Structure 1
Amino acid sequence: MLRAAATASTSRVALLRRIGASSSTMRARAARSPNYRDGQFRSHEPTHWVTAPEGEGLGHPAVAAYRARGRGRPVGRIPIERPSWPEVAADLAVTWLGHATSLVELDGHRFLLDPVFGERVSPSGRVGPRRLHPNPCRVADLPPLDAVLISHDHYDHLDEPTIAELERSHHPHYVVPIGVDLHLECWGVPTERITALDWRETTTVGDVVLTCTEARHFSGRGLVRNQTLWAGWALRGPAHSVYFAGDSGPTHRFEDIGRDLGPFDLTLIPIGAYSDHWPDIHLDPAQAVRAHLDVNRGDATSSVLLPVHWATFNLAMHWWSEPIRWARRCATEHTVHLLTPRPGARVPLADKAVGDVAAHTDAWWESCAAPEDQD
């Protein structure tokens, strides 16, 4: 009995640690931002949740999820590659490690985006969405990092066990939206290694300018929402530029970002976990292609789109391979250069970005998708 009680107490402590900073602590930090109004951060457009999309007759989202059970998993083994990085970072290269986690090489710098190496995206190590493919590498295998960029505090983008591993092996600098810094501090990251920014604020790492950009989403790791900011990131070096959208629903801010900060040689934009039940918080693949065009001012002839936020975790009700198939059709229709690397494959990009795309555009997902998952 004593052992069971001790185990329960340890589990409770681990859960509280994974949740991170308290909402009361975050409110004091958030109140300084002009984007924090009436007790929470707010997107520029309202964010709606829909109980029963018109014409579907699905009722409550839980009912829809039950009816769609099994769709979000592959039936075969997802092929991964073990990444290998050069001693010196390239002028432009990207390694997609699964979901949103990616390593970007930009003008001789390395930036790790939304690192999640944990087995589950949940405050619990025993329940919650579980990884559908192994990590292509360990945190300790990552090369030296100039900074870690985090888009927001949801569990599939901010993972406490991964932060702990990064602190053991790399001691990186973190660049995050307002409030996410408090989670990191709660987990023992020194304040001097954290830069927290509001929308359109900037910082410089080496000679790369990082700009915190708007997104249409929400935040929260417990019962209280929107006490930390969510964001995308524009990275502009002396010769190349990259845009990472984080998580976002459709927003006119993509056009603003393109006008003010674009165009970009490479974009990383989410294509998965969309639903008619939450139309404002995640892009569907057609909207992702549109966002890519918007941040590139309507001309993406010299830009490459890497679709992320699919394949690794089952977070919605669509078929597992539906996002990438849909994205591929839309990219072809709009003459967008689409990268489709296996998780872990490092993609070096030529000066004009499109030079090495052809080697990473095969439909590898077809070998492990469910037969019912058809176009």
Structure 2
Amino acid sequence: MSRFLIPGLRSLRSAAFGADPSGARLARIRRSPNFSVAEGSFQNPVGARTRPTGSTLEFAKIYFRKEERVRRGPAGTVPVHATTLADLAKPPVGGLRVTWMGHSSVLVEIDGRRVLFDPVWGERCSPFSFAGPKRLHPVPVPLEALGPVDAVVISHDHYDHLDMPTIKALTGTDTVFAVPLGVGAHLERWGVPADRLRELDWHESAKVSGLTLTATPARHFCGRGLRNQQHTLWASWVVAGSEHRVYHSGDTGYFAGFQEIGAAHGPFDVTMIQIGAYSEYWPDIHMTPAEGMQAHLDLQGGEPRGVLLPIHWGTFNLAPHAWSEPGEDTMAAARRAGAAIALPCPGEPFEPGSGSVPTAPWWRGVALTP
């Protein structure tokens, strides 16, 4: 009976669920060396458990217990730098400026071009306006006030990285969208013209406005709907300009491939590394701060070069750990490694080579004390 219901269910799906790859796109997916035809899904570079491990009951107790819910959010108003056009009007003195907009959304101004990673301006990372993880702080700047962007880069299709309202708003601009293989189906459904898509498999590159954008491996998974066909790839990204290089991890568990990425594309002026939403229940698909620091070192050839910007924390409540824990543990990991980190509050621009990178623990004023 279910086979007769599926077409009807498809027609009822919210547009936010996106679209399944089909036609030439699906054929290309099936030819990918990273796709298993036998299993009908993309494969990780090393094995990864993509579903929570351990007792579901124990996890539910921890996640929904009132005192645990309280510690996973700030105790006061999160400080946000009200980014203005004046902040961004002057080109960066050294040719590279980075503005963390919260979670994994980052504006990178690099060698005269502007790249926006994983833009999520929505109030919830969810297909629904009334349910799902809600923002813990406002966006630092309205999307329409951000100014022109040369490229929007998407790491994967989970709701906290690919936000339909944000993408729809950006379709009215001239920006090019760089996405992992298969993700273009979602964007086309939301109105992005095919000629503005650069859809890449791992180790493939595209030239956009003089920048080289390269999709690199990550250890994660994909999916936006209940059926979750695993027909969209996940990726980390390298963006290289004439003078600077940056790396965005997307979501990933730790794996030895960071060394290979660094050897092929590094070293980097800035690495934007996922260090939040980790848990012992899903250790293979999200890194802890200590693992994130090791990834940074691997990407830099084993040396504490460049600056690490911690991302994927502070904006949405997605894991059992305390809200401030990723920031505190990243600071501790940086001290142990002798590495430079940037700790801007959301919306605060900084230039990695300026010698004035923000390092104050801004969250302590609103974090619950243990």
TM-score by length of 1: 0.89
Deviation of residue 63 (structure 1)? 2.7
How big is each residue's C-alpha offset from its partner over 1:277-330, in whole Å with a ceiling of 9 and x where there is no partner?
A: 0000000000000000000001123x0000000000000000000001000001
Deviation of residue 206 (structure 1)? 2.4
SS, match of residue 88 in structure 2: coil
Deviation of residue 62 (structure 1)? 2.2
The residue that corresponds to 1:34 in the other structure is: 33
User: Partner letter of residue 184 of structure 1?
Assistant: L
Equivalents in 2 of 1:163, 1:356: separation in Å?
Answer: 33
Equivalents in 1 of 2:117, 2:166: separation in Å?
Answer: 12
The residue that corresponds to 2:107 in the other structure is: 103
Q: Do the aligned partners of 1:203 and 1:211 also contact (CA within 8 Å) in 2?
A: yes
1:325 counterpart = 2:323: no
Out of 252, 258, 261, the position equivalent to 2:262 is 258
Which moved further from structure 2: 263-272 or 61-70? 61-70
Out of 224, 230, 253, the position equivalent to 1:226 is 230
Equivalents in 1 of 2:318, 2:26: separation in Å?
Answer: 28
Q: Do the aligned partners of 1:110 and 1:145 also contact (CA within 8 Å) in 2?
A: yes
Which moved further from structure 2: 274-283 or 198-207? 198-207
1:356 counterpart = 2:356: yes
Out of 341, 344, 349, the position equivalent to 1:338 is 341
How big is each residue's C-alpha offset from its partner over 1:51-109, in whole Å with a ceiling of 9 and x where there is no partner?
A: 32xxxx88543233123322211011000012221254661110000000010011111
Q: Do the aligned partners of 2:176 and 2:208 also contact (CA within 8 Å) in 1?
A: no
How big is each residue's C-alpha offset from its partner over 1:96-130, in whole Å with a ceiling of 9 and x where there is no partner?
A: 00000010011111000000000000010100000
Equivalents in 2 of 1:120, 1:27: separation in Å?
Answer: 30
The residue that corresponds to 1:366 in the other structure is: 364
User: Partner letter of residue 53 of structure 2?
Assistant: T
In structure 2, the gaps of 5 or more residues are 1-9
The residue that corresponds to 1:4 in the other structure is: none
How big is each residue's C-alpha offset from its partner over 1:152-189, in whole Å with a ceiling of 9 and x where there is no partner?
A: 00000000000111123x23110110011110001011
Q: Do the aligned partners of 1:36 and 1:42 also contact (CA within 8 Å) in 2?
A: yes
Deviation of residue 348 (structure 1)? 2.0
Q: Do the aligned partners of 1:47 and 1:280 also contact (CA within 8 Å) in 2?
A: yes
Equivalents in 1 of 2:155, 2:102: separation in Å?
Answer: 15
Task: Output aligned runs, 1:11-22, within 5 Å.
Answer: 16-22=14-20
Deviation of residue 344 (structure 1)? 0.4
Deviation of residue 356 (structure 1)? 2.3
Out of 120, 135, 142, the position equivalent to 1:131 is 135
Task: Output aligned runs, 1:28-67, within 5 Å.
Answer: 28-37=27-36, 38-48=39-49, 49-52=51-54, 59-67=57-65
The residue that corresponds to 1:6 in the other structure is: none
In structure 1, the gaps of 5 or more residues are 1-11
User: Partner letter of residue 20 of structure 2?
Assistant: S
Equivalents in 2 of 1:50, 1:20: separation in Å?
Answer: 24
TM-score by length of 2: 0.90
> CA RMSD of the aligned region, Å?
1.9
Q: Do the aligned partners of 1:218 and 1:225 also contact (CA within 8 Å) in 2?
A: no
Out of 288, 292, 295, the position equivalent to 1:288 is 292
1:235 counterpart = 2:203: no
Out of 186, 201, 210, the position equivalent to 1:183 is 186
Deviation of residue 32 (structure 1)? 2.6
Deviation of residue 355 (structure 1)? 2.0
Deviation of residue 204 (structure 1)? 1.1
User: Partner letter of residue 308 of structure 1?
Assistant: I
SS, match of residue 166 in structure 2: helix
How big is each residue's C-alpha offset from its partner over 1:328-350, in whole Å with a ceiling of 9 and x where there is no partner?
A: 00101101101000100111232
SS, match of residue 70 in structure 1: helix
Q: Percent identity?
A: 45
Equivalents in 1 of 2:108, 2:343: separation in Å?
Answer: 15
Q: Do the aligned partners of 2:271 and 2:296 also contact (CA within 8 Å) in 1?
A: yes
Q: 1:13 to 1:130 in 2, by over 3 A?
A: farther
